[in-house]
Structure 1
Amino acid sequence: MSADPAIANAAGRPVARRVLRDSVYEVLLERVMDGSSPAGSSLNIDSLARQLGVSPTPVREALAQMEHTGLVSRVALKGYRVADPLSDEQMEELVDARAAIELAAVEKSVARHADLLADLRVAHAHHVLSAHRITRLRQEGPPPGFTDLREYFAADWNFHLVIMRGSGNRYLLQMAESLSAHVHRLRQTIDHEIYDVDQAVAEHAAVLAAFESGDPAAPAAAMRAHLAGVASRSRGLD
């Protein structure tokens, strides 16, 4: 099979197809998350391939990958379309699943908190810096774009992943990483003009302080309060 001419690197060698698929995935994800491709809109593979200057294959592969996150759905004989935002019931189930996994990881991490603290402090510092950048952009303009928000969400999620890794349970970590794709749908439902950076930073600080306290019950209580706050804000109650 000949290489797609749009994916040659500077040395003239074809870039791995997986790299191209991932690049297409990022473009399509941005369109869905920033509203450029609104809920219910169709995603025509050939049209997208022409727009992106690639063959249909990486577009098809990227859409199949996105289908697993629930952000797009495939309708027989009609192709792909952007999925509707999470319903209240789906949102509750996603938050419940996340809480079950994360609280189990927190409880297992408590016994190893001395080894966890350094990484958790670094992750929190990165989250704080990302949050400050979002706040500054909101105040000074232009408004935060997808790339800015993606960086912030990555820093936010990494704080949680540090605890997952600290649990020492590889299967909890795998489940959390799998669930992270579905968290995109939770963010898709939140109005782009509503940001919870201040609340999230404060709640992460409380989780970090709980681990630093040495109280074995404090980290789970702090994480439970944080996840309750996330659930409340995702429903627009705050």
Structure 2
Amino acid sequence: MTTSQPAADSGPGPDDAGARPSPSISRRALRDGVYDALLEKILDGSAPAGSSLTIDALARELAVSPTPVREALVQMEHTGLVTREALKGYRVAPPMSREHLEQLFDMRLILEPAAAARAMARIEELLPELRAAHARHEAAADQVRRRLDEGRPTTGEGFAELREYFTADWSFHLAIVHASGNVFLQQSLDSLQTHVQRMRQTADHGRLDMDEAVAEHADVLAAFETREPTTVDDALRRHLHAVAGRVSSDG
């Protein structure tokens, strides 16, 4: 989130309480809001892989001008979530190739165990956060499971529970990396989040690995509870290898 800082000396004084945000901040906030709305459409399945993204139509749907839509799509193109063809416009990117999936998990297997090893120095601070993240993940899985048991869709308007599940899942991993105390490890994992989202964009929302993922997170948490670095490393690597195998079998 971007916050403005007060001027040091000159300029409007404290009586200027009605000052408006600068146009650049307002424009950036609008673009970010459009980006989030487009990301939601991709992840909830309402804009499936390969589908066309027309700037004017999206602007009408979101009740904004075409400019923030165009800026958001340019930003998405840099992440690989959408592609652009000359004279044809933007499309939702195709599913990640098997090769790119392997590279994604290879990178995670480099970053996350390294972060976990460093997080051991802050284990007493990490454990409460990791327990809370795991509890949130379990609760989110229960909500999605209940929706599926009732035969309600997890796409379109029903995506809210699934979005919370994905967020809770990723937050568990972020808690470990943040506890490493290494800002560059944190930035590296943050940069992978969009690619993880892309991995999920074509997921079959009716066939999830929730039970496996929740159980594996429980194993990782239990490993941290032992305070044994080798046990933690083994549990985390088993989880990441297991997720990679499940994703590959779906591809």
Among 130, 135, 144, the residue aligned to 1:120: 130
Please tell me the residue identity of whatever aligns with 1:153. Answer: F
Matches of 1:41 and 1:65 in 2, distance apart?
A: 18
* Greater Cα offset, 23-32 or 172-181: 23-32
User: Residue in 1 aligned with 2:183?
Assistant: 170
Please tell me the residue identity of whatever aligns with 1:222. Answer: A
Equivalent residues in 2 for 1:20-169, closer than 5 Å: 20-144=30-154, 145-169=158-182
Deviation of the 1:80 alpha carbon? 1.2
Instruction: Specify the SS of the correspondent of 2:199.
Output: helix
User: Residue in 2 aligned with 1:208?
Assistant: 221
Matches of 1:216 and 1:31 in 2, distance apart?
A: 40
Please tell me the residue identity of whatever aligns with 2:34. Answer: V
Deviation of the 1:43 alpha carbon? 1.3
Structure 2 alignment gaps of length 5 or more:
1-17
Deviation by residue 1:57-97 (Cα, 9 ceiling, x = unmatched) = 11011112211321101223332111110011111111111
Matches of 2:100 and 2:203 in 1, distance apart?
A: 14
User: Residue in 1 aligned with 2:15?
Assistant: none
Matches of 1:40 and 1:198 in 2, distance apart?
A: 30
* Greater Cα offset, 35-44 or 214-223: 35-44
User: Residue in 2 aligned with 1:8?
Assistant: none
Deviation of the 1:223 alpha carbon? 0.5
Matches of 2:147 and 2:202 in 1, distance apart?
A: 22
* 1:185 aligns to 2:198 (yes or no): yes
* Greater Cα offset, 84-93 or 34-43: 34-43
Larger Rg: 2
Please tell me the residue identity of whatever aligns with 2:185. Answer: L
* RMSD of Structure 2 on Structure 1 (CA): 2.0
Runs of 4+ deviating beyond 6 Å: none
Q: Is the 8 A contact 2:49 2:201 kept in 1?
A: no
Please tell me the residue identity of whatever aligns with 1:24. Answer: V
Q: Is the 8 A contact 1:69 1:184 kept in 2?
A: no
What's the % identity of the aligned pairs? 58
Matches of 1:108 and 1:34 in 2, distance apart?
A: 35
Deviation of the 1:198 alpha carbon? 0.9
Q: Is the 8 A contact 1:106 1:167 kept in 2?
A: yes
Please tell me the residue identity of whatever aligns with 2:231. Answer: A
* Greater Cα offset, 110-119 or 179-188: 110-119
Instruction: Specify the SS of the correspondent of 2:214.
Output: helix
Deviation by residue 1:18-44 (Cα, 9 ceiling, x = unmatched) = 332222222212222233222222212
Q: TM-score, normalised by structure 2?
A: 0.84
